[in-house]
């Protein structure tokens, strides 16, 4: 059994006693369908602009090299292998398992994106994956098709020692993806119980393979009991590194490698390796005979252009390319400006462009004296993945930015629920993983110094039945037409509208940002939760000249958004539970392509749709996926 004792932590390992047991761990996380090499930002690579990095062929090379040097290394995948590029959109789970099975893995953990296409989308993947999958905090009593395809933990033998591996996924996964009737239990308590079971079986070295994010990993390391030694993480795309990150990568250091959490008289380590095959983590642990962790050494390897690509993986890529290339290289538009996706704490022009496209997609439905059909657009920040560089925009680069293929829906929503949505968007201060909304057809002013649910200074919506479109105050009792994503509008992704749920989602790092169009909002992030929206105006669609008018809380407005938002994704259940007259417009990336072709070349700017009187602590907030 494991003894609890004071550890000797060595900053630089010099001499290791021959009695110490060495365990080498190789790990990566949040692969997100990066089968081919990428740009530094994780997008489509153009070798004429900059050298390509990453990709599964380079990842395979480094894993295999590590196994040659250390044949008993643990190889661990931290989840979210699905979703993120055209490869997944066109090929789904099948290509993912095909590539994963080319490289030895000791264990995978399920990520939330493995459920993006529901239970039916992950079951065949689990059935064909050759390596074990571990996830301990899923209750699958009501989903028989997935039963038996994963385990809570496994025991592997390396150099004669039994190593326990416990898997855990973020408990809010049912709010982040389409998980059917699965239930998810508390991460910390589940790991603690499973570690106790392993310890009772005589296992004295325990690895937690987590897809929960760095904040929850810290809680696991601190509170999940005395038997765990290291948490190998994923989900938050956190780069843990002991030096400055390579120039140009979109990851900033979130802590040392490893990050050390002190329990009573012992230390637990945390490692994570960013995302998108930009890094491969490798750490060597040294244990005594009792299973006490004595020392360690390691670092994340940057997978740059100097790493050779594995020929057999390149061959496999060639087999799939005919399915991918023609569609991927299709020219869909041109942009004169950089379309930025980093919108966690601010308005961004890519989000505004997408919302404007949704508003435009239904403008021909306007009736009578109305010049427009939807008052506002709401989309979630989590659905926007990468920025778009100036120049030609291909279908692949557009799909990298919006990979989820959500349905776009129009529905009626009363003004007071629009205000609830805006308040909820600024609930997190000081903004780590902020739920910031951005808009089209709406203007809002927020004051972060105010208390929760009282942060709107002003909010106005553009009229659609006015001679001159203008922004008028939101009428709480008026019904407005909204266009959005059906997932959000149905209440998914954890944005349950109550104080306790908002706090819960903040703790669990499950926040999602929204970008509205036809809407202007001013926030003050320093004010208390629920009191941060200073002003909201909505663009009229009944006016001769479009203008922004104060939001009326009792009025119903017509909203356009993606199905993710419309079904309550991100916890926006105030939308899903109160909307009326839902109409399906189409698939989001099709709507975007049509708009992009008409509007090219783009010169999309920032036009002050959102104002925050108390700015974010950092605009470079790491956004979880």
pLDDT in tens, 390-421: 999 999 999 888 877 777 888 898 999 999 88
Roughly how many angstroms between the first and final C-alpha of the chain, as a whole number? 38
Distance (Å, rounded) from C-alpha 574 to C-alpha 219?
30
Q: Does 232 reside within a domain?
A: yes
pLDDT in tens, 540-576: 888 777 788 888 888 888 887 767 667 776 677 778 7
The CATH number of the domain holding residue 231 is 3.60.21.10
CB 323 within 8 A of CB 94: no
Q: Does 265 reside within a domain?
A: yes
Q: Which residues does 150 contact at the CB level (< 8 Å), separation at least 6? A: 110, 126, 132, 133, 134, 135, 138, 167
Picking from 390, 404, 406, 431, the residue whose alpha carbon sits closest to that of residue 483 is: 406
**What's the average model confidence in pLDDT over 226-232?**
98
pLDDT given for residue 406 in this prediction: 75
CB 384 within 8 A of CB 350: yes
Distance (Å, rounded) from C-alpha 538 to C-alpha 121?
39
**Which secondary-structure segment (H or E) carries 516?**
strand 514-523
Asked, as a colleague might, if the bond just before 223 is cis with ω within 30 of 0, I would say no
pLDDT given for residue 381 in this prediction: 76
Q: Does 354 reside within a domain?
A: yes
**Residue 533 pLDDT > 80:** no
Whether residues 183 and 288 share a domain: the answer is: yes
Whether residues 512 and 562 share a domain: the answer is: yes
Whether residues 240 and 106 share a domain: the answer is: yes
pLDDT given for residue 316 in this prediction: 98
The CATH number of the domain holding residue 407 is 3.90.780.10
Q: Which residues does 6 contact at the CB level (< 8 Å), separation at least 6? A: 265, 266
Distance (Å, rounded) from C-alpha 422 to C-alpha 433?
16
Whether residues 308 and 353 share a domain: the answer is: no
pLDDT in tens, 231-241: 999 999 999 99
pLDDT in tens, 69-127: 999 999 999 999 999 999 999 999 999 999 999 999 999 999 999 998 899 999 999 99
**Which secondary-structure segment (H or E) carries 505?**
helix 499-507
Of the listed ranges 286-290, 382-386, 499-503, the least confidently predicted one is: 499-503
* Count of beta carbons in the 10 Å neighbourhood of residue 499: 12
pLDDT given for residue 587 in this prediction: 74
Confidence of residue 59 (pLDDT cuts 50, 70, 90): very high
Whether residues 307 and 419 share a domain: the answer is: no
**Residue 488 pLDDT > 70:** no
Confidence of residue 23 (pLDDT cuts 50, 70, 90): very high
CB 251 within 8 A of CB 624: no
pLDDT given for residue 126 in this prediction: 98
The backbone torsions φ and ψ at residue 303, rounded to the nearest 5 degrees and listed phi first, read: -90, 80
Q: What percent of the chain has pLDDT over 70?
A: 85
**Residue 171 pLDDT > 70:** yes
Q: Does 390 reside within a domain?
A: yes
* Count of beta carbons in the 10 Å neighbourhood of residue 47: 10
Q: Does 85 reside within a domain?
A: yes
**Residue 296 pLDDT > 90:** yes
Whether residues 298 and 230 share a domain: the answer is: yes
pLDDT in tens, 248-261: 898 999 999 999 99
Distance (Å, rounded) from C-alpha 60 to C-alpha 46?
22
| Structure letter (DSSP) for residue 266 | E
pLDDT given for residue 622 in this prediction: 37
Of 315, 336, 370, the domain-final residue: 315
| 3-class DSSP state of 475 | strand
Of 291, 315, 339, the domain-final residue: 315
pLDDT in tens, 315-340: 999 999 998 998 898 999 999 999 98
**Residue 6 pLDDT > 90:** no
pLDDT given for residue 259 in this prediction: 98
Q: Does 335 reside within a domain?
A: no
Of 315, 338, 372, the domain-final residue: 315
Whether residues 477 and 588 share a domain: the answer is: yes
The 3-state secondary structure of 152-199, one letter per residue = CEEEEEECCEEEEEEEEECCCHHHHCCCCCCEECCHHHHHHHHHHHHH
Whether residues 368 and 235 share a domain: the answer is: no
Q: Does 442 reside within a domain?
A: yes
Q: In what order do the strands lie in the sheet with 205-211?
A: 153-158, 161-169, 205-211, 230-232, 266-271, 259-263
Distance (Å, rounded) from C-alpha 610 to C-alpha 518?
11
Question: What is the bridge-based pairing of β-strands 407-414 and 580-587?
Answer: antiparallel
Strand partners, 293: 287
- Per the model's pLDDT, the better-predicted residue between 199 and 615 turns out to be 199
pLDDT given for residue 515 in this prediction: 54
* Cα atoms in the Cβ-side hemisphere of radius 13 Å centred on 465: 6
Distance (Å, rounded) from C-alpha 437 to C-alpha 610?
8
Average pLDDT, the chain: 85
Whether residues 417 and 563 share a domain: the answer is: yes
Note down the domain range covering 520: 349-612
Domain count, the chain: 2
Q: Does 340 reside within a domain?
A: no
Whether residues 293 and 201 share a domain: the answer is: yes
Whether residues 307 and 353 share a domain: the answer is: no
Whether residues 245 and 372 share a domain: the answer is: no
């Amino acid at each position: 059994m494991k003894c609890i004792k004071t550890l000797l932590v060595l900053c630089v390992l010099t001499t290791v006693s021959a009695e110490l047991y060495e365990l080498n761990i190789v790990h990566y996380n949040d692969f997100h369908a990066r089968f081919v090499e990428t740009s530094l930002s994780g997008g489509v690579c153009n070798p004429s602009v900059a050298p390509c990095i990453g990709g599964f062929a380079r990842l395979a090379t480094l894993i295999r090299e590590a196994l040659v040097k250390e044949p008993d290394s643990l190889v661990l995948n931290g989840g979210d292998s699905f979703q993120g590029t055209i490869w997944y959109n066109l090929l789904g789970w099948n290509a993912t398992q095909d590539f994963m099975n080319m490289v030895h893995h000791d264990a995978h953990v399920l990520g939330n994106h493995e459920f993006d296409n529901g239970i039916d989308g992950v079951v065949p993947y689990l059935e064909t994956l050759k390596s074990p999958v571990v996830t301990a905090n899923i209750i699958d009593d009501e989903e028989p098709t997935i039963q038996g395809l994963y385990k809570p933990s496994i025991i592997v033998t390396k150099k004669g020692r039994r190593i326990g591996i416990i898997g855990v996924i973020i408990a809010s996964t049912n709010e982040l993806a389409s998980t059917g009737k699965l239930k998810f239990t508390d991460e910390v308590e589940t790991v603690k119980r499973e570690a106790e079971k392993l310890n009772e079986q005589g296992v004295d070295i325990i690895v937690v393979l987590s897809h929960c994010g760095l904040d929850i990993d810290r809680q696991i390391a601190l509170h999940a009991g005395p038997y765990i030694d290291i948490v190998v993480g994923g989900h938050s795309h956190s780069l843990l590194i002991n030096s400055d990150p390579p120039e140009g990568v979109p990851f900033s250091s979130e802590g040392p490698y490893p990050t050390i959490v002190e329990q009573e008289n012992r230390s637990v380590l945390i490692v994570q390796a960013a995302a998108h095959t930009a890094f491969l983590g490798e750490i060597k642990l040294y244990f005594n005979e009792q299973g006490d962790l004595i020392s360690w050494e390691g670092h994340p390897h940057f997978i740059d252009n100097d790493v050779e690509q594995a020929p057999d993986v390149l061959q496999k890529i060639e087999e799939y390319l005919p399915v991918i290339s023609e569609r991927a290289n299709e020219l869909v538009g041109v942009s004169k400006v950089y379309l930025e996706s980093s919108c966690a704490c601010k308005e961004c022009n890519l989000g505004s462009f997408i919302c404007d496209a949704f508003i435009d997609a239904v403008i021909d439905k306007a009736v009578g004296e109305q010049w427009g059909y939807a008052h506002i657009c709401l989309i979630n920040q989590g659905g926007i993945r990468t920025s778009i560089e100036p120049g030609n925009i291909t279908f692949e680069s557009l799909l990298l930015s919006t990979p989820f293929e959500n349905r776009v829906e129009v529905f009626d929503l009363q003004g007071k629920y629009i205000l609830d949505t805006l308040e909820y968007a600024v609930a997190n201060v000081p903004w780590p993983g902020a739920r910031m909304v951005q808009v089209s057809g709406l203007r809002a002013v927020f004051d972060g110094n105010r208390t929760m649910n009282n942060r709107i200074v002003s909010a106005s919506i553009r009229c659609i039945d006015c001679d001159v479109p203008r922004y008028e105050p939101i009428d709480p009792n008026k019904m407005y037409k909204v266009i959005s994503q059906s997932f959000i509008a149905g209440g998914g992704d954890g944005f349950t509208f109550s104080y306790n749920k908002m706090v819960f989602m903040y703790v669990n790092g499950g926040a999602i940002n929204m970008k509205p169009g036809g809407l202007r909002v001013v926030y003050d992030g320093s004010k208390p939760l629920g009191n941060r929206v200073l002003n909201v105006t909505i663009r009229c669609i009944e006016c001769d000249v479009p203008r922004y008018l104060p939001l009326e809380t009792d009025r119903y407005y017509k909203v356009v958004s993606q199905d993710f938002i419309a079904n309550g994704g991100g916890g926006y259940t105030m939308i899903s539970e109160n909307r009326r007259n839902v109409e399906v417009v189409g698939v989001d990336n099709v709507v975007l392509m049509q708009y992009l072709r008409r509007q090219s070349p783009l010169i999309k700017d920032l036009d002050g749709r959102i104002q925050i009187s108390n700015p974010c602590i950092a605009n470079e907030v790491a956004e979880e996926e």
